[in-house]
Structure 1
Amino acid sequence: MTNKLIPVTQPFLPELSEFIPLLEKIWDNRWLTNNGPFHQELEGKLCEYLGVEYVSLFNNATIALITALQAMRISGEVITTPYSFVATSHSIMWNGLAPVFVDIDPATFNIDPAKIEAAITPRTTAIMPVHCYSNPCDVEAIQKIADNYGLKVIYDAAHAFGVNYKGQSLLKWGDLSILSFHATKVFNTFEGGAIICPDAKTKQRIDCLKNFGISDELTVTAPGINGKMSEINAAFGLVQLKHIDKAMQQRQTIDECYRQALADVNGITLYQHDVHANSNFSYFPILVEADYPLSRDELYDKLKANNILSRRYFYPLISNMPMYRGLPSASMAHLPLANALADKVLCLPIYSDLTDSALSMIIECISRVD
């Protein structure tokens, strides 16, 4: 169908001419890292854009997740979802904690609050839910459980940049929320991430932890890590922020085209956005059901044969990976809905520069099965 490869995602890049003046400033002042002026400016601009009080920038979201667990002094067990990117549970393991998996809600693909309570033990100290594909978790139900049992809630909000829920930023729920600014995300800083903090004291602790635990020139108060975002990444983020609304609008147009064209394709189920939230259109997952002429993997192979890259995201489940599958909570019998979803899901290409012709080719490849 096409000789040109259509990737599953592609980063939005502004004109290079917008970025160069900021690079020149970095060259002039020779401040490359350690809370430089662009770093401080981006934190402030993100607070304004996202509607949150405090942001602490990181070199990537995985380090931010690891640090968030440290900042909240989490111990013992952390209840989480198996349906996520592996960094979610890796951050738990890196802290010497035990991930406990519970099943998902098949409508939202997020952790099912109804399953959380049964997984709580005397060793449980936190819940780490994931806002999957930018769809909000049932934040009210999760918070109620956390309040009843005295648990912390740390949201992996890697997919949730710019998402508002019932009139306020989704990132304000829980004790902390972690964003990803990886190149594959709607808003990117090449590599990067952030922790959304509720108050100045918490931000101060997080800022200390991401700088080796150094509190002043002579004092190290905690076993911190090097998680600081560089000035180059922060400068790029400032340029990106000027274009983010347009980029999300372009993604929305693609999302609407997919929905219109694929709505009546037998055997294809479309993921539904939460009516109480705005999507950032970061992903376009479909479910390949049993009555579709091809299996999910056969459709994946067909698209690939036509130079169209899709992604089985998330597959395999975290709970089925070698380092986790021995956990009691990782058994397939314990997670039937997550396992079923992982076997059906396929994320289609969606990014700002996806052309109309490429979009038509993808739709035709799915709609016409010879």
Structure 2
Amino acid sequence: MIPLFRVAVDQGAGPLVAEALRTGVLGHGPRGEEFEQALRDRLGVPYLTTLNNGTSALHLALRLAAGHGDGGGDGGGGEVLTTPYTFEATNWAILANGMRIRWVDVDPGTLTMDMDDLARKITPRTRAVMVVHWAGHPVDLDRLASVLDDAEAAHGFRPAVIEDCAQAWGSVYQGVPVGAHGNLCAFSFHATKHLACGTGGMLVTPDEESHRRALRLRFFGIDRKADRVNGDYDVPEWGYNFYLGELGAAVGLANLSSVDARVDIHRRNAEYYDTALAGVAGVELTTREKGRDSSFWLYPVKVDDRAAFIRRLAAAGITASAVVRRNDTHTAVRDVYDPELPGLESVHDRVVHIPVGWWVSEWDCEHIAETIRSGW
């Protein structure tokens, strides 16, 4: 079977991991510091914090956003406007922070947040807006900023923006890497991502104070540079055990050296599909916009009779999957159900993802496209 996901481990990871084992430093240490600096250099941002996984990055971003403006530092019961079309980690982090979810509709063309619906739903209760760059396709960040400008003018308060960049390493918006537009940006370095640590993540913060706070909160609220030998330190606010260990940082450092080549292959394969699948009966491609360059961690298409489509591809040795289900119909959030999500309703049962990754050869792409063109 041609898989939908595979794990990339650069050949340089072995020696770096072995060195970490030799030194016996397995918590946060010199490799973690080196990885963080390399990430800053790559994204062109001054403030980022590596963490043990992407969910921790989302959780920490919401903790910082909860203290934004009039919100309370413990969540304060604030409302977060978010998309129901995402992996559950995005939205369960909101609940874990004691905040309230309010659903925003999906743009059927891009599968990202519908900015018109967002503009209608921002109120003085809104503490944050959580957007997801689904499959690596960047959200319209300029339109988002405009919506927030209007909200600030109307309500005297600007909600924090959290970008869920879990699938968007290598994505570019208007010539600038996703994650470098001045918002709270949560990345995942899960094993199957473009840039993998095995498990890991990072949080990009917009200013020095939020960065310092993130550094403390990832280690129980303790400043790691404080004098803990003599017990002369204070914890101004409680925190978590969220730091990235040395083994994960070593794998991340090695994979960073080759991640651009992997993203290039994803894009090449996606470009082939854009041409080969255009106009195929029963298939609708997602939208492409100038200045919004996806990393194509996934390649979504909208199809008629999704179950039959998946069975047909499986019979040809090809994995295809919906990947996620709409979050708003889970029992855990039944109290916030919103029946007025027409964009989501129009696409949810039609979206399916086909293999697009660095392991998919040109022959594989041709086989996948021909199988789809033959019908199901």
Verify same fold: TM over 0.5: yes
Q: Match for residue 36 of structure 2? A: 43
Q: Match for residue 10 of structure 2? A: 14
Tell me the alpha carbon deviations over residues 176-206 of structure 1, each in whole angstroms, 9 at most, x when there is no partner: 1111111221111111111112222211100
Q: Structure 1: where are the runs of 5+ without partners? A: 290-294
Query: Hey, what's the Cα distance between the residues in 1 that align with 2:293 and 2:119?
Result: 29
Q: Residue 127 of structure 1 aligns to a residue in which SS?
A: strand
Counterpart code for 1:302: R
Q: 1:305 to 1:158 in 2, by over 3 A?
A: same
Aligned counterpart in structure 2 of residue 319 of structure 1, from 324, 328, 333: 328
Aligned counterpart in structure 1 of residue 83 of structure 2, from 56, 81, 84: 81
Note the 1:103-114 alignment, pairs <5 A: 103-114=105-116
Query: Hey, what's the Cα distance between the residues in 1 that align with 2:269 and 2:176?
Result: 26
Q: Match for residue 268 of structure 1? A: 283
Q: Match for residue 33 of structure 1? A: 27
- 1:212 deviation in Å? 1.2
- 1:174 deviation in Å? 4.8
- 1:104 deviation in Å? 1.6
Aligned counterpart in structure 1 of residue 57 of structure 2, from 56, 60, 64: 64
Q: Match for residue 312 of structure 2? A: 302
Q: Match for residue 169 of structure 2? A: 161
Query: Hey, what's the Cα distance between the residues in 1 that align with 2:190 and 2:297?
Result: 12
Q: Does 1:209 align with 2:217?
A: yes
Query: Hey, what's the Cα distance between the residues in 2 that align with 1:87 and 1:173?
Result: 23
The question of whether the paired residues in 2 share the 8 Å contact of 1:146 and 1:153 is answered with: no
Q: Residue 25 of structure 1 aligns to a residue in which SS?
A: helix
The question of whether the paired residues in 2 share the 8 Å contact of 1:247 and 1:352 is answered with: yes
Q: Match for residue 292 of structure 1? A: none
Q: Structure 2: where are the runs of 5+ without partners? A: 68-74
Q: Does 1:130 align with 2:140?
A: no
Q: Residue 276 of structure 2 aligns to a residue in which SS?
A: helix
Query: Hey, what's the Cα distance between the residues in 1 that align with 2:293 and 2:125?
Result: 36
Note the 1:352-367 alignment, pairs <5 A: 352-367=358-373
Query: Hey, what's the Cα distance between the residues in 2 that align with 1:255 and 1:175?
Result: 28
Tell me the alpha carbon deviations over residues 302-322 of structure 1, each in whole angstroms, 9 at most, x when there is no partner: 2223332111033x2011111
Tell me the alpha carbon deviations over residues 89-126 of structure 1, each in whole angstroms, 9 at most, x when there is no partner: 10000001111001122222211121123323332211
Query: Hey, what's the Cα distance between the residues in 2 that align with 1:299 and 1:55?
Result: 42
Counterpart code for 1:52: V
Q: Residue 253 of structure 1 aligns to a residue in which SS?
A: helix
Q: 1:182 to 1:273 in 2, by over 3 A?
A: farther
Aligned counterpart in structure 1 of residue 188 of structure 2, from 161, 180, 185: 180
The question of whether the paired residues in 2 share the 8 Å contact of 1:12 and 1:351 is answered with: no
Aligned counterpart in structure 2 of residue 282 of structure 1, from 285, 291, 297: 297
- 1:53 deviation in Å? 1.7
Q: Residue 223 of structure 1 aligns to a residue in which SS?
A: coil
Q: Which stretch of structure 1 is more off in the superposition, 46-55 or 355-364?
A: 355-364
- 1:286 deviation in Å? 0.7
Tell me the alpha carbon deviations over residues 145-190 of structure 1, each in whole angstroms, 9 at most, x when there is no partner: 3341421111111122122222223313353111111122111111
What percentage of aligned pairs have identical amino acids? Answer: 32
State the superposition RMSD in angstroms: 1.8
- 1:345 deviation in Å? 0.5
Q: Match for residue 335 of structure 1? A: 341
The question of whether the paired residues in 1 share the 8 Å contact of 2:83 and 2:104 is answered with: yes
- 1:351 deviation in Å? 1.5
- 1:249 deviation in Å? 1.6
- 1:239 deviation in Å? 0.7
The question of whether the paired residues in 2 share the 8 Å contact of 1:136 and 1:274 is answered with: no
TM-score where L is the length of structure 2: 0.89
- Paired residue total: 354
Q: Does 1:250 align with 2:243?
A: no
Q: Residue 171 of structure 1 aligns to a residue in which SS?
A: coil
Counterpart code for 1:228: Y
Q: Does 1:23 align with 2:33?
A: no
Tell me the alpha carbon deviations over residues 275-318 of structure 1, each in whole angstroms, 9 at most, x when there is no partner: 103321211111104xxxxx11111122223332111033x201
Query: Hey, what's the Cα distance between the residues in 2 that align with 1:252 and 1:130?
Result: 19
Q: Match for residue 344 of structure 1? A: 350
The question of whether the paired residues in 1 share the 8 Å contact of 2:137 and 2:295 is answered with: no
The question of whether the paired residues in 1 share the 8 Å contact of 2:13 and 2:250 is answered with: yes
